[in-house]
Structures are given as C-alpha cells and as structure tokens.
Amino acid sequence: MKRIIYEEIEGKSRAFIKLAAALLGLIVIALSAAYYMEHNGHIVTGMNNQIVWGIPHVFAIFLIVAASGALNVASISSVFGKTAYKPLAPLSGLVAIALLMGGLSILVLDLGRPDRLIVAMTHYNFSSIFAWNMIFYNGFIAIVIVYLWMLMEGRFNKYSRQVGIAAFIWRLMLTTATGSIFGFLVAREAYDAAIMAPMFIVLSFSIGLAIFLLVLYAAYQWTERPIGMATIKRLKNLLGVFVAAVMFLVAIFHLTNLYAAEHESVEHFMLSGSGYAFIFWVFQIGLGSILPLIYFYHPNFKDDVRFMLRGAGLVLLGGFSQVYVIVIGGQAYPLELFPGYEVTSSFYDGEIASYIPSFPEILLGIGGIAIAGFIVLFAVKLLKFLPTSLADEDVDPHYRHKN
C-alpha cells in the first residue's frame, strides 16, 4: 500500500463548468420557488390543513437522514480502524455536511415564516424534538468540520480518531432525534413507535452509503482518476447488508402493528388499501430493496460495476419512497378521535386526505439536492478531499498482484 496523496480536482473542464452551472440553475429556480411560496402563501403548494408536511419535508428528511449515513465511511475508518476506508474519509465527511445543508435549506425555506429563522435560533423549547434537532444539526456540521480538519491537516491526524468517535456518537443521536420526530407523535396511528428511531438510523446507513458510492464513482470517472474494483465492491457489499437491515426493521414495525387489533385499519391502509401501499410494495420493497439485493449478490450481476451503481440508485429510490410513505401516508390516514364511530365533518374528519405535490414544492426539494451537489463540487475543487488514486494496489491493504 502506498502513501495516499490527496489533491484538488482541476475543475476547468467544460463538463465541470456545465455541471456547476446546472446545479446553480437548479438552486436559483428553487429559491424562486421558495420566494413564490413565501409571497403567496402555502396555498400555491399541494399542502393543506390535512397534509401539513409535504414533498419538501420528504426531500429534507431524506437528505438529513442520508447526511448522517454518509459519514459512516469515515466512521468505519476512524472509529473501527479499517484502513481500507481511510482514503475515503475526507469525502465522506464532506458529503455528510453537504447533504445536511441541502436538507436544512429546504426545511427552512418551507417554513410559513422563513423570515423568522432568527426566532428559531433564539427561542428554544427544550421539550421539543425539533429544538433538539436544531442543536444536533448545527453541532453535526461543526463537529464534522473539525473532524475534516483533523483528517486533512497532517499535524492533527493523531486527534482524528477521538474527534471521529465524537462525530460518530453525535450522528447516532442526530438520526435518533430525526426518527423521534415521528416516533414521539402519539396522536397519529402510523407513527408513535419507538422503532422509528433505529429504523431511521439503519435507513441512514443505507441511503447515506448509496449516495456516497455514487458520488465517489462519479468523481473518479469524471476526473479520470483511477478507482479500483475492491473499493467499490467493499462499499457495495456493505450497502447490501444495510438494505437488508432496513427491510428487517420495516418488517418488524409492520408485524408488531398487525398483531394489535387497534392498528389493523391503519396497517390495511398502509399495506394494501391505498396508493401508499403501492409505493411501499413496488418502489420501497420491490425496486428499492429486493432488486438492489439481487444486483449486489446474484452471481450474474455482483461483479458488474454497472449493476452496483444501478443498485445504489435503486436504494435511493427505495429510501425516498420509504420517507414519502411515512411522512405523507402517515398523515393521509385520518386521526381517530372517536373509536367505534363513523365520523363526518367539514374539516375532513374520518376521510383519507389527498395530496398532490405542486411544482414549486418539488423544485424546492430538487434545489436542496442541488445545494448539496454544489457544495461537494466546489469543495473538491478548492480543497484536497480526493486521493489521486484509489486503484486497488494503492489503497487495498489486502491487495495481491495477480500474476
């Protein structure tokens, strides 16, 4: 194994400028959409007084959960001492910060009063999971920046393990708190489950790693730097384990609910009686979990990099669908105020709520992804995040020359 040399990317090619311009364009469009929503009110969105959190929240939660998961590669290197992951650690931290910033931007721009962000920063109600999250999110960015500094500044390398452990613990708390946004909602039948927190943690492992794998591969392909199959395969195999773990927790969540008569109705809604059931079975489970596992482990596909990348993309589709089903589906199912009664009212009591995302909301969500992409793109141009080579002989401690 050689000494790893990190270098900025050149960032002068036509493709780089095109990508930067495209991301910037998406960000400008998203900001315009947010201004349009802020100016006219949420009446221009698909959200209403029944579905109060819409597609922006799906994007935001997806990105925030993915952010903590993207840090895992660095944690495996610093906390668990796996040298094969060490060259990837700086990029892992960078992607984590970028995803979190993208997600938070969406969340803030979707507020009814985004102009009151300063209020949110100066008034804390410590019994609110949201208030805790604001501390976790900001703290995460701060800790990961320090962690990157320790990793990238030779003199401080010796501290990277300690800071890495702190970042790892912090990220676990962050995702626990994000899952608990829903886990603590006793009012709604689709939520109110302690398993939400570990489910979000494992979901973060899978979607964070899938994003990392795709970003890593794209960065090396586009800069024409060498990247070895051992690195990609190692990440792919780990991703498969995470995908299976998410499926396990999802199965336990639903089986537990199905066992209780009180949850029969909501389970029927989520698993068979609605469009959300379709999204669940087809996108979350079929395309987003089972198909990637086939791609990752079936002998016909498991060594083909194209299927590894497709698999990672499908994991993202599955994760996004999962967050959509939880956030939107969970709200669409009516609150049960009067068990044993049929109810009707002018406020849609007892009715399945409908929600169709509007264009501005979707554009705002895509803008969050663009913000994350833009941060990564410019950071790798400005600072030494990427090793010049990830070829197997350079980074793989188990590499043996094949004669």
Partner 1 sequence: MTQVKDLTDPSRRKFVGASVGVTGAMLIGPGIFLHQVAQAKPDAEAVTDKVRWGMLVDTNKCATGCDDCVNACAKENGWANEKGPDEVKVQWMRKVDLKEKSTGREASLPVMCQHCEKPPCVDVCPTGASFKREDGIVLVDKHICIGCRYCMMACPYKARSFVHSPVENHDDYMPRGMGVVESCTFCVHLVDKDKSPACVTSCKEKALLFGDLNNKNSEIAIRVAKENSRQIRQDLKTNPGVRYQGI
Instruction: Note the residues at the interface with partner 1 (CB under 8 A).
Output: 38, 40-43, 47-50, 52-53, 111-114, 116-117, 119-120, 123-125, 127-131, 134, 181, 184-188, 331, 335, 337-338, 340-349, 353-354
Q: Compute the least distance from the CB of residue 343 to partner 1, in Å.
A: 6
**At closest approach, how far in Å is the CB of 117 from partner 1?**
7
- Count other C-beta atoms under 10 Å from residue 214's C-beta: 17
Q: Sign of the CA dihedral 53, 54, 55, 56?
A: negative
List of E strands, 97-237: none
Q: 114 to each of 10, 92, 143, 239, 277, how far by Cα in Å?
A: 37, 30, 26, 36, 34
Cα(170)–Cα(280) distance, rounded to whole angstroms? 30
> Which of 175/331 has CB closer to partner 1?
331
SS3 6: strand
Q: 109: closest CA among 177, 56, 55?
A: 56
116 versus 298: smaller Cβ distance to partner 1: 116
Using CA atoms, how far apart are residues 292 and 209, in angstroms rounded to an integer? 13
User: DSSP 3-state assignment of 386?
Assistant: strand
Judged by beta carbon, residue 103 or residue 292, the one nearer partner 1 is: 103
> Minimum distance from CB of 189 to partner 1 (Å)?
10
Do 357 and 46 touch, CB atoms closer than 8 A? yes
Q: How far is the CB of 40 from partner 1 (least distance, A)?
A: 7
CA-to-CA distance for 100 and 356, rounded, in angstroms?
Answer: 26
Q: Which is nearer to partner 1, 76 or 364 (CB)?
A: 364
Cβ 188 to partner 1 shortest distance, Å: 7
Residue appearing with tokens 């941060």: 375
Question: The tokens 């999971």 sit on which residue?
Answer: 129
For residues 117 and 305, which CB has a smaller minimum distance to partner 1 in the complex?
Answer: 117
In the complex, least distance from residue 279 CB atom to partner 1, rounded to whole angstroms: 20
CA dihedral 214, 310, 80, 393 (to 10 degrees): -80
CB of 33 to partner 1, least distance (A): 16
Minimum CB separation of residue 191 from partner 1 in Å reads 8
Rank residues 213 and 326 by Cβ distance to partner 1 and give the closer one. 326
CB atoms under 10 Å from CB of 252, counted, come to: 14
Least Å distance between CB 260 and partner 1? 13
CB of 375: closest distance to partner 1 in angstroms?
Answer: 24
**Which residue, 128 or 157, is less far from partner 1 as judged by CB?**
128
Q: How far is CA 298 from CA 112, 185, 237, 244, 246, in A?
A: 48, 40, 12, 14, 19
Q: Classify residue 387 by its DSSP letter.
A: E
Nearer to partner 1, 159 or 184 (CB): 184
Question: Given the complex with partner 1, which of 192 and 393 has the nearer CB atom?
Answer: 192
For the record, the structure tokens of 91 come out as 């990029």
> Based on CB atoms, which residue is closest to partner 1, 300 or 346?
346
Rg of the chain, C-alpha, whole Å: 22
Distance, in Å, from the CA atom of 64 to the CA atom of 73, rounded to the nearest integer, reads 16
Sign of CA pseudo-dihedral 249, 253, 258, 260:
positive
CB 178 within 8 A of CB 133: yes
